[in-house]
Amino acid sequence: MTDSTAPLVTLEGVTKRYAAITALDSVDMTIRAGEAVCLAGENGSGKSTLIKVLVGVEQPSDGRILFDGVAQSRITPTDATRAGVQVIFQDFSLFPNLSVWENIAVTAERATGTKLVHRARARERAREVLARVGVTLDLDARVETLSVAHKQLVAICRALASDARLIIMDEPTTALTEREVARLLDLIRRLKADGVAVLFVSHKLAEVLEVCEHVVVLRNGAKVADGPAEDFDSASLTRAMTGRDVAETPPGALDPSAPELLVVDGLTKDGAFRDVSLTLRAGEVLGVAGLLGSGRTSLAKALFGLAKPDRGTVKLDGHDIPLGDPIAASGQGIGYVPEDRLTEGLFLEQSIARNIAVGRFDEHASGGVLNLRALWDEAGDWLKRLSVKAPDPQAPVRSLSGGNQQRVVLARWMARQPRVLILNGPSVGVDVGSKAEIHGIIADLAARGLGVIVISDDLPELLGTCHRILVMKAGVITDEVQGGGGVTEDDLSHRLAS
């Protein structure tokens, strides 16, 4: 990194207006070769617009952009690619049906203007890039068969194959487990050493700080903070993004006389988890900390009946819950908010109101005919109570932000008035402000006497919301710690990883 040369990319007073809305308000920013920059901001803060302007998808209304110190009059996507700017979208933009080598080489090969497929050359190109990042992947594997982390690697390699000098990564850590994130950061460090710049756009703040030299925070389209990464910590970054301190206040002590609600004894599913026993009391928030592959999701599904355990019992209020029967489980008052709300939790194309009402058909039906007015009133009521920011309850759920989508899932369950709610990764893909609000909802639920189980690998989240935290490793509960300040994040991550 030499300061004598011009920065790779410079933004000077870049402004973008859409009709009446100012999406970007006079943003200045520089990115140098070999530097990792974090672009932080809540949803709607202008991050995506900034990326679009950088890669020439949108033209700035004002201000200018310089590549290598040269002002660009009007950037097209081709110009951006030629300058070495590559975006890795959240969905990676890969071709699931094609092989690894073809995915890696496709953009670079297209750039040569060839009409024919040069198989040997393309494979060699892919092999070289994989070697450069120090990765072994089967060149002929179909990309759809790879894990998320490996798909991301292929996307990074594709950017490198077309001589990327600046790689923009949109939410790169959202779908990764902690271990995979650590590997990604390793890779980013090596890329930086290689002179490649990285612009991170991420919700997961702690991880961002670790690898970045430089942090830029956007709020409502304007740059509100900019400085070396050392000057920021989780709290100050959150404050800059949200304009307020999101205090993670651990819950108060649990009433010792609270009755036992859910008792799990010796629950075992071969190959997933074994001999899990736990007790959840009314008003308690119980955390389960586990990495991917620890059996945490299998356990959550088993408690709700989505997977059938081989042995063990689950009792609610002293009554046995039939295993492997989600309808019975929900009938008895257990609710489950899945990890992947997009595919498991929501009917994306259906309206917000319908997504809430779907759990309440039985209540509002008489003789097989639905009382629609009561159904919609109730759904509207819950939307208000969980402060879902929706323009129109009849709009499809797809149109909502991650945080609001999660609230819709919660509203559906709360309308059913469950006794126990199991939340699997409640704040995955949710921005910081909404995350704090979801944690507020969890605390509120517990205060009303529900038992809540939170499963997550987001340790600050567990520490900030749970009375007790169980540590799960390789399918076994190995540890139990008290939440509420009794243990630090480092300590917990140590127990989780050791």
| Part of the chain binding another protein (CB under 8 A), chosen from 9-17, 96-104, 198-206, 377-385 | 96-104
* Binding span for another protein by CB under 8 A among 37-45, 109-117, 201-209, 211-219: 109-117
DSSP track, 337-372: E-S-IIIII--TTSBHHHHHHGGGTTTTEETTEE-H
Binding status of residue 445 toward another protein by CB under 8 A: no
Any contact of residue 354 with another protein (CB under 8 A)? no
Decide: 439 and 248 in contact? Cβ < 8 Å. Answer: yes
Q: Does 76 bind another protein (CB under 8 A)?
A: no
Query: What are the residues facing 422 on neighbouring strands?
Result: 336, 453
If the CB atoms of residues 134 and 391 are measured against another protein, the closer one turns out to be 134
Q: Residues 6 or more apart from 95 whose CB is under 8 A from it?
A: 102, 103, 106, 143
Binding of residue 183 to another protein (CB under 8 A): yes
- Nearest approach in angstroms of CB 495 to another protein is 25
Angle at 255 between CA 254 and CA 259, to 5 degrees: 105
Total Cβ atoms within 10 A of residue 365? 12
Using rule CB under 8 A, residue 137 touches another protein = yes
* Nearest residue (CB) to another protein, 29 versus 302: 302
CB-based contact 109:129 (threshold 8 Å): no
Q: Cβ closer to another protein: 20 or 120?
A: 120
**Which DSSP string corresponds to 265-307?**
EEEEETTTEEEEEEEEETT-EEEEE--TTSSHHHHHHHHHTSS
Positive or negative: CA dihedral 114, 115, 120, 126: positive
Q: Which amino acid is at 201?
A: V
State the pairing for strand pair 260-269/311-316. antiparallel
Q: Please, where are the H alpha helices in 364-425?
A: 372-385, 402-415
Terminus-to-terminus CA distance in the chain, angstroms? 36
- By CB under 8 A, name the one of 21, 116, 253, 327 that touches another protein: 116
Binder of another protein out of 28, 62, 138, 392 (CB under 8 A): 138
Per CB under 8 A, which region of 4-12, 42-50, 142-150, 386-394 contacts another protein? 142-150
Q: Which is nearer to another protein, 307 or 397 (CB)?
A: 307
Residue 347 to residue 353: CA distance in whole angstroms:
11
Q: For residue 136, state whether it binds another protein (rule: CB under 8 A).
A: yes
Question: From the list 6, 66, 148, 149, which residue makes contact with another protein (rule: CB under 8 A)?
Answer: 149
One of 35, 102, 378, 461 touching another protein (CB under 8 A): 102
Which stretch, 100-108, 199-207, 237-245, 349-357, contacts another protein (CB under 8 A)? 100-108
80 touching another protein, by CB under 8 A: no
- Residue 198 binding another protein, by CB under 8 A: no
Within 255-314, which residues bind another protein (CB under 8 A)?
Answer: 298, 307
Alpha-carbon 265 to chain mean position: 32
486 forms part of the interface with another protein (CB under 8 A)? no
Residues that bind another protein (CB under 8 A): 77-78, 89, 91, 93-98, 102, 106-107, 109-110, 114-117, 133-138, 140-141, 145, 149-150, 153, 183, 186-187, 298, 307
